[in-house]
Chains A and B, each alone.
Chain A
Amino acid sequence: MIRPHRLFPIALVGLMAMLAFWLDQISRWSPSGKELDPSRPEYTVDDFSATRFDAQGRIQERLVAKQGWQFPKQPDLHLREAVLDSYQAGALAYRAAGAIARYNRQDGIAFLEQKAHFFKPGAAGQPDTHVYGSRITINTRTRVASAKTPVEIHYGESIANAIGFEYQQQKGLLRLLSHARVKYVQ
């Protein structure tokens, strides 16, 4: 028969082994817990506005949307009824709005995928510029707006239509890619 005083150390060793195994499992436990369903949003946000400031504390970007959601492990922030205002030195440089939109935070590209509207206030006495289309892509890093689908551009009272456009905001360069038409009111 094994005497109790001999059992104790064996039990202690077993207990310690179980404790070590349990602690090891706990420390390896991934924070998100169980695996998320990739086809369902990880989170949704309703009626929100998000503002980013520059080094001088001035507004740099402001995003307002009816709803936003993101899928697990996906960089895109999906938006509904979204308006993105981008500022330069505290003044509105342009506004991009869409009924449905996607904003990839990694590369700073916004895809306006329904009822797209791009607006640039006129500088130094020049008229405002409005671009309307079904889909417009905006690279917020290079400040280039573009589309490959039909767009209508209002420049003051003048109206231009084209299939496809590219607008380089920094250079003030607007290219109408094809089937360009303009009604220029002086």
Chain B
Amino acid sequence: EKADQKKPIEISADAGTLDQLKGVTVWQGNVIVIQGTLRATADQLTVTRDAQGRQTLQGIGRPATFRQKLEARPEYVEGQGSRVDYTSASNQVVLTGNARVKRGADVVTGGVITYNTETEVYQVSGGSVQGPNKGRVTVILQPKDEGQK
């Protein structure tokens, strides 16, 4: 949810390296990131910060995951992929490699999934034909109950 962005970010890992000159921090081993309702995990996380303070996070894992509460709703969005890229300037999360996003009861899988944490809209592509999804996309949308329409 939007309030997460104002919250402090807590990161824990086996080890970390901060390069002040390049503005790059690399966290390695059992990486857990918590910011408000957002929780992400990865084997390695690289945080890059540009001169304007905009951040990009790249998580690599088996898989790398993230989970965040939806705005004004008790539901969560959960995503995973071999690699997760997050850009704070565009609020965009890109999941690559066995990508999977579950929002409420709906599930989407594919080669690459792009998810906007602001608009909560996601876009999925099958990725390469040689990939595990054979270039296919799977979307499972649960019927809404009468009250939810």
Q: Which residues of A contact B (CB under 8 A)?
A: 126, 158, 160, 162, 171-186
Q: Is there a chain A Cβ closer than 8 Å to B141's Cβ?
A: no
Inter-chain contacts of A183 with B (CB < 8 A):
8-10
Inter-chain contacts of B16 with A (CB < 8 A):
160, 162, 175-176, 180, 182
Contact A172 B27 (CB under 8 A): no
Inter-chain contacts of A174 with B (CB < 8 A):
17-18, 20
- B interface SS class: strand
Inter-chain contacts of B18 with A (CB < 8 A):
173-176
Which residues 18-53 in B have Cβ within 8 Å of A in the complex?
Answer: 18-21, 27, 53
Q: Nearest Cβ in chain B — how far from A13, in angstroms?
A: 80
Contact B9 A186 (CB under 8 A): yes
Q: Is there a chain A Cβ closer than 8 Å to B15's Cβ?
A: yes
What are the 3 closest A-B residue pairs judged by CB atoms, nearest first? A172-B20, A180-B16, A176-B16
Q: Nearest Cβ in chain A — how far from B59, in angstroms?
A: 15
Inter-chain contacts of B138 with A (CB < 8 A):
none
Contact B11 A181 (CB under 8 A): yes
Contact B21 A177 (CB under 8 A): no
What is the chain B residue whose CB lies nearest that of A173?
B19
Q: Nearest Cβ in chain A — how far from B108, in angstroms?
A: 30
Residues 117-140 of B, flagged 1 when their CB comes within 8 A of A and 0 if not, give 000000000000000000000000
Q: Is there a chain A Cβ closer than 8 Å to B70's Cβ?
A: no
Inter-chain contacts of A160 with B (CB < 8 A):
16
Bound CA span A178–B6, Å: 28
Q: Is there a chain A Cβ closer than 8 Å to B107's Cβ?
A: no
Contact B15 A177 (CB under 8 A): yes
Inter-chain contacts of A179 with B (CB < 8 A):
14
Contact B15 A178 (CB under 8 A): yes
Contact B10 A178 (CB under 8 A): no
Bound CA span A183–B16, Å: 13
What is the chain B residue whose CB lies nearest that of A171?
B21
What is the chain B residue whose CB lies nearest that of A160?
B16
Contact A178 B8 (CB under 8 A): no
Inter-chain contacts of A185 with B (CB < 8 A):
8
- Beyond the given A158-B8, A176-B16, please list 16 additional residue pairs across the A-B interface where CB-CB is below 8 A: A160-B16, A162-B16, A173-B17, A173-B18, A173-B19, A175-B15, A177-B15, A178-B15, A180-B14, A182-B10, A182-B12, A183-B9, A184-B9, A184-B11, A185-B8, A186-B6
